[in-house]
Amino acid sequence: MTSTESQVYPVIWQKDHVLLIDQNRLPAEYTLVEITNSDDMALAIKTMIVRGAPAIGVAAAYGMYLGAREIKTDNRELFLTQLEKVAEKLRATRPTAVNLFWAIQRMINTARRTLGSVEYLKEVLLETAKSINLEDLQTCRSIGDSGLEVLPKTPEKLTILTHCNAGALATAGYGTALGVVRSAWREGRLARLFADETRPRLQGAKLTAWECVQDQIPITLITDNMAAHCMKQGLIHAVVVGADRIAANGDTANKIGTYSVAICAKAHNIPFFVAAPLSTVDFNLVDGSQIPIEERDSSEVYQIGKTVITPEGVDFYNPAFDVTPAHLITAIITEFGAVSPSELKQFEEKQAV
């Protein structure tokens, strides 16, 4: 057995502030950014210093505590009103990943349900943010182990393709899709990970590749347009991706390009798995057409790094996510086990907010 316990934790509570790994600087530089107030946390989420659905949920939970700490009143009702303003600010950062909204709501609900002084409420909010952080780490490990149950039984050592970064960096640690990869590696079931580079922001090339190098998981990087060819050549045995929001019918929003990978997998009869915690499922949405899709600045398309790659006079479109329809998904791997998209509903009551 190989040790695969990732030592990468993108959101760390330290005494009285949060440390974030600056994911915009990886892999060139490993830098920790100190976050001491809710404005800076909102900015860090918006500018993707911290990114990935579960990780922004954890970051937002701490952001709620930092915002609560800034409120200067002893009056409970006034406190709750001002806490709602902090929530609005954090909600306005990124629209697609539902974990952000889930974590903020859990913090709001905790504050409303807790009796006692404002000082005591603030203490409870910090403890709740720490719990969200720790639970996500445990959840990812469970997702990893659930994944082992459904990965193809042959060949013994699999080559798995992933898209974007659904790893330790995108969660409290360990990862969802990369959690499955880590568990497979630990159990001797992984030959190698193939990773799409994931234009425009290159999370695959920069972040997934960095994580795998840290943990010595063998990785082959391909550009996004190579996936179909690799599948046709028989190089890929399964696809495992993460998710930003899953509708009640199993339609799944994930990083732009995921949908194309799912279509290619279907065409080549390769199982396509979505690995995500229940906090990523939005049971309020009937299907994926209701998932809000973030559009980001066009500079992400016309530039690579700081280099402009297009002539002037071109228009751009930059949706950050796409929706893979449930019928292309073999199974959704959660902390409670793997189910087909149509069976997801059975978990609704397990989703604590």
Task: Give the interface with ligand MRU as residue ranges (CB under 6 A).
Answer: 51-54, 97, 164, 166, 170-171, 176, 203, 242-244, 254-255, 320
Please report how close the Cβ of residue 120 comes to ligand MRU at its closest, in angstroms. Answer: 33
Q: How many residues belong to the chain?
A: 353
CB-nearer residue toward ligand MRU: 110 or 165:
165
Residue 303 parent element (H or E):
strand 303-304
Residue 244 is among the residues annotated as catalytic for this protein: yes
Contacts of 269 (CB under 8 A, 6+ apart): none
Please report how close the Cβ of residue 274 comes to ligand MRU at its closest, in angstroms. Answer: 9
Answer whether 209's CB lies under 8 Å from 27's CB: yes
Please report how close the Cβ of residue 52 comes to ligand MRU at its closest, in angstroms. Answer: 4
Answer whether 271's CB lies under 8 Å from 330's CB: yes
CB-nearer residue toward ligand MRU: 150 or 274:
274
- d(CA 57, CA 80) in angstroms, rounded, equals 20
CB-nearer residue toward ligand MRU: 126 or 170:
170
Strand ranges, E, within 126-251: 158-162, 190-196, 219-222, 238-241, 245-247
Cβ-closest position to ligand MRU: 242
List 40, 215, 244, 251, catalytic entry:
244
Contacts of 20 (CB under 8 A, 6+ apart): 10, 11, 12, 32, 33, 35, 44, 49, 50, 59
- d(CA 293, CA 175) in angstroms, rounded, equals 23
DSSP secondary structure code for residue 18 in this structure: E
CB-nearer residue toward ligand MRU: 67 or 179:
179
- d(CA 160, CA 236) in angstroms, rounded, equals 6
Answer whether 4's CB lies under 8 Å from 188's CB: no
CB-nearer residue toward ligand MRU: 55 or 121:
55
Please report how close the Cβ of residue 48 comes to ligand MRU at its closest, in angstroms. Answer: 6
Please report how close the Cβ of residue 217 comes to ligand MRU at its closest, in angstroms. Answer: 16
Q: Which pairs count as long-range contacts for 305-311, CB under 8 Å and 24+ apart, including other chains?
A: none
- Which amino acids are annotated as binding site for substrate, given as ranges? 51-53, 94, 203, 254-255
Question: Which positions are annotated as active-site residues?
Answer: 244
